[in-house]
Structure 1
């Protein structure tokens, strides 16, 4: 069919432009010299706007209208029908935003990321404040162009989790929050777990070697990617056959880089497992960021911090750092990396308290977009929420409001994906255990391939063919439910703490 061929050709052009943008973003966060930041921001703004204009072009509109006619619609394959659905959604959302506003936002986000890095490094929220104010101002404008039914935040949340609403998220939190807080209170009354041996001096090159080893064990294809160092770990797809992982190395704590790498490796496995049939199209991406985060959180926590996985992998960790860990047993290490304790840094938080960090950010983001909170008041509001949710207050902004890259990069609405990812992960893994015989024993033997194949068949290969709700039902037979996560943490940590 000529129209679908023309659509795919135009989508390939857009994909190639965005591939260049992704490569520039990766370089911006890894190797770019500091004096190149301003030029890079303008280049990113130009290329991103070029892709944006192609997506919203009259040609795109005409093709979508032609293909949406009932006669042609009935003749499309299932994949092409999904492609049409996704492109129409992206087109309509992009079409709602004036190109000049979009370009301003891309440039502001690029500058904001660079400003955030400097502000975090120097513990200077005042330096970052005007950049974030500009981003929030632009997002508030964009929300009005997007439109929404009930809450302005819905328009941004939908960018990362299609179909999710603020109202539904609040219902999920209402079920989850009291369960977590009560469980944390119960655990806090029990004897503390010793983690002192995790502090030491861990050479960067040894951490890097261990991280690469972990990626190989979980199935990451180094012929289709690489591992590099950055301030804030991320995974980025440059294009088919090129999915890159980054991590950060702390001289005093190797577990941050190890589990940060496994987390990003989970993202990369998803991207590497998308069907080649979807190449050069918007379908070659995750169903949502919540589904994406389910894959990273599953690998990082449900697998990487499980007793079974560490039965296999801990001897390799001991071999990497023998002076520190030679007298530390598997049981001691397992308990240490799963210690539950309210902490300042989200990416280092344990599985039980992690979602509280996300709830905090969700409330602040929602308040910012709804004009109930201004950027100048954000540090104080952050500290108040930390006291409310976790009972601790950051000693400085670097360990508080400046710890995450997301707001400086313009990614307002992303944070709830992490919490949803935890919930999806527990629900998916519960199904995997019921469908893969002896899965726990396989993991204990370092055999992750059957689980990976299951994930590829059930989730990865489909990309964006299915909406997240539909995908969850296809995989597990039911809608997303917080109950699986609640049961998971109570079972795992109840045993660790001897409840």
Structure 2
């Protein structure tokens, strides 16, 4: 470690401590915090955000980072230290462009906004959330304007926050391919949806038994309970303090068996990524997933490519039947596999099948672009949302909770996040094609042996954290950068076989 980097280290430690505290408050606010805590706790979050910003943008830190970017200093740095300086410089540039008071206000306000969303969704009351959403959008528009370079579109700025390798042109091309290749397949598959009987899924399933089985599933796929915990929230999510403290949440619905099962596998995929980040970089600016696109690739890989395969369920399906014998004793493994892969248009993104899922993302992508390129009236957003669902999926949400209020992301100002889910699904398919070349993937699953798969992902993706970007990882692992053709091929092969097309 260079002497200059040594001088920077105490500032890095303080920044990470402040960030960890902010994460801890976010976790608490969505899981255990009492309802009346929000107004007061939000002020604490605002102060922590302010201190975080001051620490990163102080003259001494900027001077040290500038010096560490010099060629002579770079020679003394390790590859991880170089990546830390690169990431740190990006963050400083972003923060310096935003007035400190506005940054603090935004962080304080989104804490309130999220709680307002929880209430609005529970009570099916868009009018309660709309004023909060309007103010969040105003903040994001201002911040994007401050940060834009070379006449960037505001939405482009936001997209780069979650996946730096993809801009509007890349996503337009990707989504055009989905519309061309997958929409016709979905229409053909939907014609046969009635041939798949999954009425069993909507019987009553005791919540406590669901919790017990989901805990088993989490451990089975590799979630380390010595490094992680599971709680409940209105919208399942993953949050890490560092690689030895990774937290996930789940949500349980009495008359929907699949919901909690695939949520815990999805969030478990996120958590395993964070748990496998190398100790040498955890609690540094690169001690995190490299992007939300890559992060979602890991959760979608576990949820869909592993979790919806017959090979995965072969050794454990009987345990599920034994948990609910009265509901599942007459449901064979093959019927169950067809059920968890049943494809047809639906209203809820998190409950959507693998084939129709990208349409939910396209809808959100198009609405977000409208919000940031047009002066859209907040009151019209539910109407716009419903029209998009009718256009793409032939369905109209019967209420706000199943429509525009179904996702938590906008309450936090996370505009630009949704495309990461589709990117992640495609990246997962590209990685799957490679993994099948280097190991007997299905054989391992049938044996109940997920260790070689986890180790491969750890050694090739997870341990690097954010020291490489998505395309660098894909190039190193698969020999090429992002290629959506693997995703199209994967979906076509899977669903043509399932539905005998």
Q: Distance in 1 between matches of 2:177 and 2:257?
A: 35
Equivalent of 1:442 in 441, 444, 452: 444
Equivalent of 1:318 in 306, 317, 321: 321
Partner residue in 2 for 1:496: 498
Report the CA distance between 1:179 and its aligned residue.
1.1
- The question of whether the paired residues in 1 share the 8 Å contact of 2:243 and 2:277 is answered with no
Report the CA distance between 1:5 and its aligned residue.
1.4
**Residue by residue, what CA displacement relative to the aligned partner does 1:203-223 show, whole Å, maximum 9, x if unpaired?**
111111111111111111000
**SS of 1:464's equivalent?**
coil
- The question of whether the paired residues in 1 share the 8 Å contact of 2:47 and 2:104 is answered with yes
Instruction: Give me the CA root mean square deviation.
Output: 1.1
Partner residue in 1 for 2:366: 363
1:387-406, aligned counterparts within 5 Å?
387-406=390-409
Does residue 1:16 correspond to 2:17, yes or no?
yes
Partner residue in 1 for 2:273: 270
Does residue 1:279 correspond to 2:282, yes or no?
yes
Q: Distance in 2 between matches of 1:33 and 1:477?
A: 50
Structure 1 gaps, min length 5: none
TM-score normalised by the chain length of structure 2: 0.98
**Structure 1 residues 184 and 294: CA distance shift in structure 2, 3 A:** same
Q: Distance in 1 between matches of 2:460 and 2:10?
A: 28
- The question of whether the paired residues in 2 share the 8 Å contact of 1:8 and 1:281 is answered with no
* Greater shift in the superposed pair: 140-149 or 259-268: 140-149
**Residue by residue, what CA displacement relative to the aligned partner does 1:53-99 show, whole Å, maximum 9, x if unpaired?**
21122122101111111211122211111111111111111111111
- The question of whether the paired residues in 2 share the 8 Å contact of 1:151 and 1:166 is answered with no
**SS of 1:485's equivalent?**
helix
Does residue 1:472 correspond to 2:474, yes or no?
yes
**Structure 1 residues 164 and 457: CA distance shift in structure 2, 3 A:** same
Q: Distance in 2 between matches of 1:388 and 1:201?
A: 33
Does residue 1:376 correspond to 2:379, yes or no?
yes
Partner residue in 1 for 2:175: 173
1:157-168, aligned counterparts within 5 Å?
157-168=159-170
* Greater shift in the superposed pair: 288-297 or 485-494: 485-494
Report the CA distance between 1:191 and its aligned residue.
5.2
1:134-173, aligned counterparts within 5 Å?
134-148=135-149, 149-173=151-175
1:231-380, aligned counterparts within 5 Å?
231-380=234-383
Partner residue in 1 for 2:107: 106
Q: Distance in 2 between matches of 1:44 and 1:195?
A: 45
Q: Distance in 2 between matches of 1:132 and 1:12?
A: 34
- The question of whether the paired residues in 2 share the 8 Å contact of 1:139 and 1:369 is answered with no
Q: Distance in 2 between matches of 1:69 and 1:304?
A: 47
**SS of 2:91's equivalent?**
helix
Q: How many pairs does the alignment contain?
A: 498
Partner residue in 2 for 1:487: 489
* Greater shift in the superposed pair: 288-297 or 140-149: 140-149
**Residue by residue, what CA displacement relative to the aligned partner does 1:273-295 show, whole Å, maximum 9, x if unpaired?**
00001022011100100000000
Report the CA distance between 1:111 and its aligned residue.
1.0
Partner residue in 2 for 1:66: 67
Equivalent of 1:203 in 199, 202, 206: 206
**Residue by residue, what CA displacement relative to the aligned partner does 1:344-386 show, whole Å, maximum 9, x if unpaired?**
0000000001010001001111111223423221000000100
Q: Distance in 2 between matches of 1:373 and 1:6?
A: 48
Equivalent of 2:434 in 405, 416, 431: 431
TM-score normalised by the chain length of structure 1: 0.98
Q: Distance in 2 between matches of 1:240 and 1:484?
A: 31
Q: Distance in 2 between matches of 1:286 and 1:388?
A: 35
Does residue 1:36 correspond to 2:23, yes or no?
no
**Structure 1 residues 50 and 337: CA distance shift in structure 2, 3 A:** same
Report the CA distance between 1:200 and its aligned residue.
1.1
Does residue 1:184 correspond to 2:186, yes or no?
yes
Q: Distance in 2 between matches of 1:5 and 1:320?
A: 55
Q: Distance in 2 between matches of 1:366 and 1:312?
A: 45
